[in-house]
Amino acid sequence: MATNKKILIVEDDKDILELVKLYLGKEGFRTATASTGTDALKQVKSDKPDLIVLDLMLPEIDGLEICKRLRGAPDTASIPIIMLTAKAEEADTIVGLELGADDYVTKPFSPKSLVARVKALFRRLDRQQQGTVSVHTYGHLVMDLSRHEVRVQDREVVLTAKEFGLLEYLLRNVGRVMTRDTLLNSVWGYDYYGTTRTVDVHVRRLKQKIPLLNDAIVAVKSLGYKLKEYDAPA
């Protein structure tokens, strides 16, 4: 894996920030840091990072609000975000995922584990960009893997890295039932420690962003999801 990627670490605990910076640096990643929400937003705007490691509890502007703002702006909507949270409650994790985070790590965490998550996320993005099939179509939906772009009726739909990966996997398996565990392993990676609720959150977000999928992605009771074969209107 190329290690020229730039990662913005947003963390107000200096010890954790320096530790994460040290471990990412050892792997060849370039890093930038921010200790407040305001500073983080300025840095993202001035020097677009390839990935953001984002603490939730920050001075001035918290991590959830930062995530919301980044996902709401077209030029930053697709930057991968890994959340750091000291809260173990599932509700906090779900809120972050609802707002568009790609992954999360609960404190206390192993720096090596965080680095592994970062590498896994970059690998999955690389695989999506280097897939053998470069374009998927589903009715008026067109997914161009080489451009990392999704368009519906020639209007671009901005997706997060995980939303893009989930949609691409469903499009490659039209008509097949995909269990939540299969989707977690294939899109998030076998080393992902989240719950299957993560899949439900991302499916719901896909449907919100692409109404065409509202009836196309169906839940299969106790199993998972299926993208129905496309049935062109009469």
Which tops the pLDDT comparison, 11 or 97? Answer: 11
Which tops the pLDDT comparison, 227 or 195? Answer: 227
Give 75-101 pLDDT, tens digit per residue. 888 899 998 887 665 666 777 777 778
Residue 2 has pLDDT above 70, yes or no: no
Q: At 54, which helix (H) or strand (E)?
A: strand 51-55
Query: Where along the chain do its domains lie?
Result: 6-127, 133-227
Give 210-219 pLDDT, tens digit per residue. 999 999 999 9
pLDDT of res. 9:
97
Residue 112 has pLDDT above 70, yes or no: yes
Q: Which residues lie closer than 8 Å to 117 by C-beta, 6 or more apart?
A: 82, 103, 105, 191
Tokens of 49: 């990072």
Residue 150 has pLDDT above 90, yes or no: yes
Q: How far is CA 226 from the centre of its chain?
A: 21
Average pLDDT, the chain: 86
Do β-strands 6-10 and 51-55 pair in parallel, antiparallel, or remain unpaired?
Answer: parallel
CB 28 within 8 A of CB 3: yes
Instruction: Kindly tell me the sign of the dihedral angle through the C-alpha atoms of 126, 132, 138, 139.
Output: positive
Tell me the CA distances in angstroms from 96 to 62, 63, 83, 144, 220, one per residue in order: 11, 9, 8, 27, 25
Percent of the chain at pLDDT above 90? 47
Please name the fold of domain 133-227: Arc Repressor Mutant, subunit A (1.10.10)
pLDDT of res. 90:
63
Do β-strands 30-34 and 81-85 pair in parallel, antiparallel, or remain unpaired?
Answer: unpaired
Do β-strands 81-85 and 103-106 pair in parallel, antiparallel, or remain unpaired?
Answer: parallel
Give 12-54 pLDDT, tens digit per residue. 999 999 999 999 999 999 999 999 999 999 999 998 899 999 9
If pLDDT is split at 50, 70 and 90, which confidence band does 193 have?
A: low
pLDDT of res. 37:
95
CATH homologous superfamily, domain 6-127: Response regulator (3.40.50.2300)
pLDDT of res. 227:
94
Q: Which residues of 29-41 are buried (b: 16+ CB within 10 A; e: fewer)?
A: bebbbbbebebbb
Q: What is the mean pLDDT of residues 172-178?
A: 86
